[in-house]
Amino acid sequence: MNKIIVLAAFVVLCFSLAFAQHSIDFELVESIPIETTLDNPDIRDTQEVWLEMINGAKKSLDVEQFYISNKEGEPLEEVIQAIEAAAKGGVNVRVLCELKFYKTYPETIDRLGKVENISTRLIDFTKFGGGIQHAKFFIVDGEMIFLGSQNFDWRALKHIHELGLKIRHKEAVAFYQDIFNFDWNLAETNEQSSVSRDLSLKSYKHSFILIQNNDTLTFTPTASPIGFIPDTSLWDEPNILKLIDGAEHEVSLQFLGYSTRSRDKSIYKNLDDALHRAASRGVKVRLLVSDWEKATPAEKPLKELAQVPNIEVKFSVIPEWSGGYISFARVEHCKFIVVDGVSFWLGTSNAEKSYFYTSRNLGVIAKSKTLGALLRRVFTASWDGPYVELVKPDVKYEKRKHDGE
């Protein structure tokens, strides 16, 4: 009898934990490179959350991705199959990707386009903003969104450190939905005239409040580039600068790339100046960037930043997989900023001008004692972990190969 009671209690506990986890409306989600110590057991894995969201779709699934790169036998295949199953079950699916990368990875987009209830389009964002469609997000039933650093790439689920957010809030998601619909309409013809026709300027509510785990969370949706969002006050860059300028004790930043030298050869100092201002106030600034920046034009400004009092800069160096070299993988690809362990921005942009001024990206600004502390802990685990090198001005770094076979 006692065994039955214990078993029943265990089942109830498991169900309660699962229900509590799945009912969270604002959730941090991670991907971890296998064979590393970066895993956080209290943060769910990307594939699990993606499948849960996609399998739960009832009416619509809108997917906007930089590109889709699948590989047989890898975790993303199950996600692609879930999208196909949703469509076959009556869910209206729209898939939108950047035209430039379709040329490199056409197979999965073509495959999806052949399934009933799935429509696919390619956007040539260069014709509009001058950059690329770099955002990585999908929206379920117009009320739940996943956004973050994770591309729809098999490597992102297994060989790259990524962070994203699952947000369930219909009113807030409406802003992101309008952006998807705008981009979807642009991709119908990819003609410049579509911008003035389809972009409807309007004001959105800027602050949303959620109560979860006995913590009050406030958040604001953000996006880029400046000329291609319906509410310019929700542009990423000024919201990020305001976040940094409000720091009192500490700013921790993690990006794949950080540079003051723009792709158009101009100098971009807005973020750099904000970090200098913070440091001059006595705020401790820590910047972690991937070692893909070694021996690139970004290396010099990183070395210069590392010499500023109160600022430290490190390269993250994820070791290669024991199974052999994998291109465009084995890297920390996260894109976030944590201020004073309470407030943060997390998004799809790297810390370079083009991501805010010419390319499509999304983000979110939030304040939460619980999630802020969790995100700071994730950052600190990387910062103090075994896969980092302090950026030193007198060291001549060698470029790390990350492209090609």
End-to-end CA distance of the chain: 61
- According to the model, what pLDDT value does residue 82 have? 98
Q: What is the mean pLDDT of the chain?
A: 94
Structure tokens at 308: 């500023």
Interval 241-253: pLDDT, tens: 999 999 999 999 9
Phi, psi of 385 (to 5 degrees): -80, -175
Instruction: Identify the residue whose tokens are 């199950």.
Output: 78
pLDDT at 11 > cutoff 70: no
Strands 331-332 and 160-168: parallel
- According to the model, what pLDDT value does residue 24 have? 87
- According to the model, what pLDDT value does residue 67 have? 98
pLDDT at 272 > cutoff 70: yes
Beta bridge partners of 65: 97
Percent of the chain with pLDDT over 90: 91
- According to the model, what pLDDT value does residue 13 have? 39
pLDDT at 238 > cutoff 50: yes
Interval 325-334: pLDDT, tens: 999 999 999 9
- According to the model, what pLDDT value does residue 405 have? 67
Strands 215-224 and 60-65: unpaired
Q: In the chain, what are the helix, strand and coil shares in percent, each to the nearest 5?
A: 35, 25, 35
Beta bridge partners of 96: 64, 121
Strands 68-69 and 152-153: parallel
Interval 138-186: pLDDT, tens: 999 999 999 999 999 999 999 999 999 999 999 999 999 999 999 999 9
Interval 108-143: pLDDT, tens: 999 999 999 999 999 999 999 999 999 999 999 999
Using pLDDT thresholds of 50, 70 and 90, give the confidence band for residue 255: very high
Average pLDDT of the segment spanning 13-29: 62
Using pLDDT thresholds of 50, 70 and 90, give the confidence band for residue 404: confident
- According to the model, what pLDDT value does residue 74 have? 98
Helix, strand, or coil here: 305? helix
Lowest mean pLDDT among 18-32, 199-213, 241-255: 18-32
- According to the model, what pLDDT value does residue 8 have? 43
Structure tokens at 325: 């070299």
Instruction: Identify the residue whose tokens are 């291609």.
Output: 228
pLDDT at 265 > cutoff 90: no
HSE-up of 33 (CA within 13 Å, CB side)? 24
pLDDT at 18 > cutoff 60: no
Distances in Å between the Cα of 118 and the Cα atoms of 81, 112, 183 are 12, 7, 17
Phi, psi of 34 (to 5 degrees): -60, 155
Q: Which residues make Cβ contacts (< 8 Å) with residue 257, sequence separation at least 6? A: 289, 290, 292, 293, 298, 350, 351, 352
pLDDT at 197 > cutoff 50: yes
Instruction: Output the DSSP codes for 117-134.
Output: TEEEEEE-GGGTTSS-B-
How many other C-beta atoms can be found within 10 angstroms of the C-beta atom of residue 81?
12
- According to the model, what pLDDT value does residue 23 have? 61
How many other C-beta atoms can be found within 10 angstroms of the C-beta atom of residue 255?
25
Helix, strand, or coil here: 330? coil
- Quick one: CA dihedral 290, 294, 297, 300, positive or negative? positive
Q: What is the DSSP letter of 405?
A: -
Q: What is the pTM of this model?
A: 0.94
